[in-house]
Structure 1
């Protein structure tokens, strides 16, 4: 049975990084990335832990194994990941100043557990665990990641803005 909680051990953070590695474009085929989706950012343990210390990442666990995660990324980390800097600038331009948001820094479900509602439950758990004063969850999805865009739309995310950065089109979406 899968349970949901905030990550609180180093072993859980290590399992997040392992699952992330298995879903980076450099580690999967083009066909798989098109069909199954992919993750973009490769985190270091130091940054992942620092983010978790501010607002715990949400994990799906079966037995002692992390089978899915949604990373909580407080806006104070806006400058820490180069590829995400434009996202935070776009969010700040698109949102009213009175909206306090938590960025969902990355979501991933193990291939063995896809299609079981884990994606939806990760976000539900994230919403339930937002720090006091936060109104919403905002994230961005690579326009080429059709599976992720469809999954986010299915649970109620709406497009806030679309922008280009480098050679990619990004969809900033809000729950």
Structure 2
């Protein structure tokens, strides 16, 4: 992908049914169960599955940032508030870890935080730094309402961990659930 294409990519909060449908389509292309083990190792993958209705509910609480190229969603960063802890049963183990894991000597839930990710970039647009731009767009939209962005990354998703660490995420903990081993990672957005 030509690096000059970056100037043609815009970032905004998802607001339309079409945006949410395109997020779901991109998610489905990158779900762990849609990819071979080799593709997962080379490109990374996403785990959680959403619906348009769930995305709309999440968007009513916090921006769901998308990257657009020629009016097509080519990347997204889904976010949720701590208030959604009980609404996604598959994420309850992650939220339990937030009550145990620490950052700078305090338990994560002592901070004002939002849950970042899942984040995904169309394979044709990778290598342009869009993951960082998506997270930064989210941080800019939420402003001073939050101190930390917290998420989890599958231990076996080495590419995702590397990219997150490159942009400043730090490992705050690990845990295991029925789906595997996970890193809890934290990005301090104070002062951005």
**TM-score normalised by the shorter chain: which range applies?**
over 0.9
Q: Which residue of 2 aligns with 1:36?
A: 43
The answer to whether structure 1 residue 161 and structure 2 residue 168 are counterparts is no
The alpha-carbon deviation at position 133 of structure 1 amounts to 2.6
- 88-97 vs 159-168, greater mean Cα deviation: 88-97
Task: Provide the rounded CA distance (Å) in 2 between the counterparts of 1:133 and 1:167.
Answer: 32
Structure 1 residues 131 and 49 mapped into 2: Cα distance closer, same or farther (>3 Å)?
Answer: farther
Structure 1 residues 11 and 170 mapped into 2: Cα distance closer, same or farther (>3 Å)?
Answer: same
The alpha-carbon deviation at position 83 of structure 1 amounts to 2.0
Task: Provide the rounded CA distance (Å) in 1 between the counterparts of 2:108 and 2:95.
Answer: 13
Structure 1 residues 18 and 167 mapped into 2: Cα distance closer, same or farther (>3 Å)?
Answer: closer
- 155-164 vs 132-141, greater mean Cα deviation: 132-141
Q: Is the 8 A contact 1:55 1:131 kept in 2?
A: no
The alpha-carbon deviation at position 131 of structure 1 amounts to 5.5
- Size of the alignment, in residue pairs? 175
Q: Which residue of 2 aligns with 1:75?
A: 82
- Structure 1 runs (4+) deviating above 6 angstroms are none
Given candidates 85, 107, 125, the residue that maps to 1:113 is: 125
Give the TM-score taking structure 1 as reference length. 0.95
Give the TM-score taking structure 2 as reference length. 0.87
Q: Which residue of 2 aligns with 1:2?
A: 9
Structure 1 residues 117 and 97 mapped into 2: Cα distance closer, same or farther (>3 Å)?
Answer: closer
The alpha-carbon deviation at position 142 of structure 1 amounts to 0.4
Q: Which residue of 1 aligns with 2:59?
A: 52
